[in-house]
Structure 1
Amino acid sequence: MPWVILDRDGVINHDSDAFIRSPQEWVPIPGSIEAMARLTRAGWRVAIATNQSGLARGLFNAETLAAIHDKLERTVAARGGRIDALAYCPHGPDDGCTCRKPAPGLYRELADRLGEPLQGVPVIGDSARDLEAAAAVGARPVLVRTGKGEGTLARAGLPPGTEVHADLAAAVAALLEEGEGA
Structure 2
Amino acid sequence: MNKAVFLDRDGVINECMTERVKHVNRPSDLFILPGVAEAISKLNSAGFLIIIVTNQGGVGLRFMKPETLVRIHERLLSILKKQDAHIHDIAACIHKPKEVCACRKPNPGMIMTMAEKYEIDLANSFMVGDMETDIAAGKAAGTKTIRIGPEDENADFSAPSLLEAIPYILNQTTALKER
CA RMSD, Structure 1 to Structure 2 (Å): 1.8
Aligned twin of 2:30: 26
Percent identity between matched residues is 30
Deviations 1:85-113 (Å, cap 9, x if unpaired)?
Answer: 11000001211011000011011111112
Q: Distance in 1 between matches of 2:171 and 2:33?
A: 22
Aligned twin of 2:14: 13
1:1-182 pair list within 5 angstroms: 1-16=2-17, 18-145=22-149, 150=150, 153=151, 158-159=153-154, 162-180=156-174, 182=177
Letter in 2 for 1:140: K
Asked whether the equivalents of residues 3 and 124 of structure 2 are also in contact (C-alpha less than 8 Å), the reply is no
Asked whether the equivalents of residues 37 and 84 of structure 2 are also in contact (C-alpha less than 8 Å), the reply is no
Per the normalisation by structure 1, the TM-score is: 0.87
Per the normalisation by structure 2, the TM-score is: 0.89
Asked whether the equivalents of residues 15 and 32 of structure 2 are also in contact (C-alpha less than 8 Å), the reply is yes
Asked whether the equivalents of residues 147 and 159 of structure 2 are also in contact (C-alpha less than 8 Å), the reply is yes
Structure 2 spans left out of the alignment, 5+ residues: none
Count of residues in Structure 1 that have an aligned counterpart in Structure 2: 172
Letter in 1 for 2:8: D
Asked whether the equivalents of residues 53 and 89 of structure 1 are also in contact (C-alpha less than 8 Å), the reply is yes
Asked whether the equivalents of residues 85 and 114 of structure 1 are also in contact (C-alpha less than 8 Å), the reply is no
Q: Distance in 1 between matches of 2:48 and 2:142?
A: 19
Q: What's the CA shift for 1:16? A: 2.8
